[in-house]
Amino acid sequence: MQTIKNYINGELIEPIGKTYIDNYNPSIGKVYSLIPDSDERDVELATQAALQAFPKWSITPKGERSAILLKIADLITKNLERLAVAESVDNGKPVSLAKLIDIPRAASNFHFYATGILHYAAESYAMEDTAINYTLRNPVGVAGCISPWNLPLYLFTWKIAPALASGNCVVAKPSEITPMTAYLLSELCIEAGLPKGVLNIVHGYGHKVGAAISAHPKIPLISFTGGTKTGAEIARVAAPMFKKLSLELGGKNPNIIFADCDYENMMKTTLHSSFSNQGQICLCGSRIFVEKSIYEKFKTDFVDRVNKMKVGNPADPDSRLGAVVSKPHMEKVLSYIELAKQEGGTILCGGNQVKVEGEFADGYYIAPTVIEGLTYNCRTNMEEIFGPVVTIMPFETEEEVMMYANSTQYGLASILWTENLTRAHRIANNLHTGIVWINCWLLRDLRTPFGGVKNSGVGREGGFEAFDFFTEPKNVCIKLK
C-alpha cells in the first residue's frame, strides 16, 4: 500500500507523530493508501523551513522564479496520464474529466502565473513638480494555502502558483480526502529543482494541520478554498491576528433559462453545469429556473437526457459520472434527496444510490437526480448539497426569477440563457454573484477576477488580483525639492 509523505524543506518525510490516516478509493469503497496524520509540530517544521527559504526566494529574480515554475508546469503536462489516473482513483471522478480539465488546468495555473509575474507592475503617482509616489509590491512572507477535495490538484495549484511566483514561500495543506496528486506534485517540484523550503506540503486533518496553519503567528496570510463553515472558523482564528485572508467558499448557483435561448446549446451545457464532477463543483448550477412557456418541454428533454448519462467505473470512457468523493458525502447527498421529498418535491429521475457491478459494488455512486415541485425558499433550494442533484422550477417574469436567484445566503456564480442582449446585460448587472456566465458555463480566462459575494467568500483570486493578494503594497513618497 502506498504511503504518502510530507514535503518539508525539500524532502519527503514521515510525520513527526508517525501516525497515518486511511485514504479511500471512492470508486471501490476501499482503502488504497495512507496519509500522514500530521499535527502542529509538522506545521512548525514546515513554517521554519519556509521562513529560512524566504529571504533568498523573495529576492531571486522574477525570471529565475518563473523558469522553475515553468519547469513544474511542463512536468505536470508530461505526467498528464499518471496524474489524471491518480486524481480519479483518489476522488472518484471520471479519468476523462481529469485528463480534460483537472490536470491541464493545474499545468496552466503554473504556466499562467510563471509568465504573469513577468508582466506585473505597480503604480506611480506624480504630484506635479512637488513629489512622486510609487508603490512597491513585496511578497508577504510565508503564505498558508488550504484547499478542498473537489478539484484537488487544480485548486491546490491555483493558490500555490501565484504565491510562489510573487516571491512568497508556502506552507500548504491539500484535503485529507484527496491528497495523492499534491504528493505527486511534491515529487515533481523536487525534479524541477525548486529550492528547498520554498514549498512545503503538510498532509492531515483540517482541525489539526489546517487549524495550526491558520493560527500560526509567522504565517501572515491565508488563502483558503472550502466550505463556508470552515471559512468562518478560519476567519474567527485569523482575523484577530490581522492576517490577510482570501476565502473562496460554498455556492448555490442559479441557472436561469429564458424561452428565447439557443435551446440545444443550453441543453448540452446545462447537463454539464448540473452534473460535471458528480455535481461537486462550487460553480455548478443546482437551481434551474425555466421560463414557464418552455418548462414542460425542458423538463421532458432534460430528464430524457439525464436518464441516458452513464454512472459507473471512472476509468470507463463512457462513464459520464463516477463516484462521489466519500461515504459520508454520499450519505449527506442522499439525506438531502430525502429532505427534498419531505419538503414536497417530486423526484423526476435518479434519487438513489447506484450499485455498480463487480469490483465497484462498494463504491459511492449516486444517480443524477432532478427534482421539481419545491418552493424557491425551502431548505433543499437554500442549502449547498454539492452532489449530482438539481431542482427545476418554472418562472413567469424577470422580476420573479431575479428574486429567486438572489434569495440564498450564497453569491458565487450564476448562469443565464437568453438571446436578448439588453435583458442579458440588465440581469448580469443585478445578479448578486461574483461571476455571471451568459450562454456558457465554466468558460475561464485566468486573467479575470474569481470569487463570490455574501457567504460565498471574501476577496478575489485570478489574474493580477492574486498577485495583489500575495504581495503587500508599500507607498514611497519622494519630495522633489
List active site positions. 248, 282
Q: Which is nearer to ligand NAD, 253 or 313 (CB)?
A: 253
Q: How far is the CB of 191 from ligand NAD (least distance, A)?
A: 25
Cβ-based neighbour number of residue 446 at 10 Å: 17
Question: Closest distance between ligand NAD and the C-beta of residue 359, in Å?
Answer: 26
Q: From residue 83, how far is each of 22, 105, 279 by CA, in Å?
A: 20, 12, 21
| Helix (H) or strand (E) segment spanning residue 298 | helix 292-307
Near ligand NAD by CB under 6 A: residue from 23, 96, 108, 175: 175
Asked if 39 is part of the footprint of ligand NAD (rule: CB under 6 A), the reply reads: no
**Among the listed residues 92, 139, 148, 462, the single contact to ligand NAD using CB under 6 A:** 148
Q: Using the rule CB under 6 A, which residue among 29, 220, 250, 350 binds ligand NAD?
A: 250
Which residues, including other chains, have CB under 8 Å from residue 125's CB and lie 6 or more apart?
A: 132, 133, 134
210 part of the interface to ligand NAD, by CB under 6 A: yes
Q: Interface residues for ligand NAD in 363-382 (CB under 6 A)?
A: none
* Cα–Cα distance measured from residue 111 to residue 392, given in angstroms and rounded to the nearest whole number: 39
Q: Could you say whether residue 146 binds ligand NAD (CB under 6 A)? A: yes
CA distance 421 to 437: 13
Binding region for ligand NAD (CB under 6 A) out of 2-10, 246-254, 315-323, 357-365: 246-254
Q: Which one, of 74, 77, 52, 56, lies nearest residue 65 by Cα?
A: 56
Among 457, 459, 462, 463, binds ligand NAD (CB under 6 A): 457
Q: Interaction with ligand NAD in 379-438: which residues (CB under 6 A)? A: 384, 386, 412
Residue 415 has phi, psi (to 5 degrees) of -125, 140
Least CB distance from residue 384 to ligand NAD, whole Å? Answer: 5
Cα gap 400→23, rounded to integer Å: 46
Q: Is 345 in the site for ligand NAD (CB under 6 A)?
A: no
Of 85-93, 98-106, 226-234, 416-424, which segment contacts ligand NAD by CB under 6 A?
226-234
DSSP-derived pairing of the beta strands 11-13 and 6-8: antiparallel
Contact window for ligand NAD (CB under 6 A) among 18-26, 169-177, 295-303, 463-471: 169-177
Kindly tell me which of 43 and 89 has the beta carbon lying closer to ligand NAD: 43
DSSP 364: -
Q: Collapse the DSSP code of 86 into the 3-class scheme (helix H, G, I; strand E, B; otherwise coil) and give the result.
A: helix
Find, among 277, 359, 224, the residue nearest to 87 by Cα: 277
- Which one of residues 176, 291, 372, 465 is an interface residue with ligand NAD (CB under 6 A)? 176
Rounded to whole angstroms, the Cα distance separating 240 from 50 reads: 23
Nearer to ligand NAD, 386 or 441 (CB): 386
Partners of residue 346 on adjacent β-strands: 372
Question: What are the grid coordinates assigned to 430, written together?
Answer: 443585478
**What is the Cα–Cα distance from 396 to 392, expressed in whole angstroms?**
14
Does residue 249 belong to the site contacting ligand NAD (CB under 6 A)? yes
For the chain, give the number of residues: 481
Stretch that binds ligand NAD, among 33-41, 309-317, 344-352, 449-457 (CB under 6 A): 449-457
Answer for which of 221, 234, 261, 356 binds ligand NAD (CB under 6 A) is 234
- Compose the 270-309 pattern: x for residues touching ligand NAD by CB under 6 A, - for all others: ------------x---------------------------
Q: What φ, ψ does residue 474 adopt, rounded to 5°? A: -130, 120
**Residue 410 to residue 433: CA distance in whole angstroms:** 8
In this complex, which beta carbon is closest to ligand NAD, that of residue 139 or of residue 462?
A: 462
Distance set, CA 374 to CA 77, 176, 345, 350 (Å):
45, 35, 5, 16
**Options 181, 214, 313, 408; binder of ligand NAD; rule CB under 6 A:** 214
Helix 180-192, helix 80-91: angle, nearest 10? 150
Q: In this chain, which of 227, 373, 394, 449 binds ligand NAD, going by CB under 6 A? A: 227
Q: Which of 225, 326, 380, 471 binds ligand NAD (CB under 6 A)?
A: 225
Site of interaction with ligand NAD (CB under 6 A)? 146-150, 155, 173, 175-176, 206-207, 210-211, 214, 225-227, 230, 233-234, 248-251, 282, 384, 386, 412, 452, 456-457
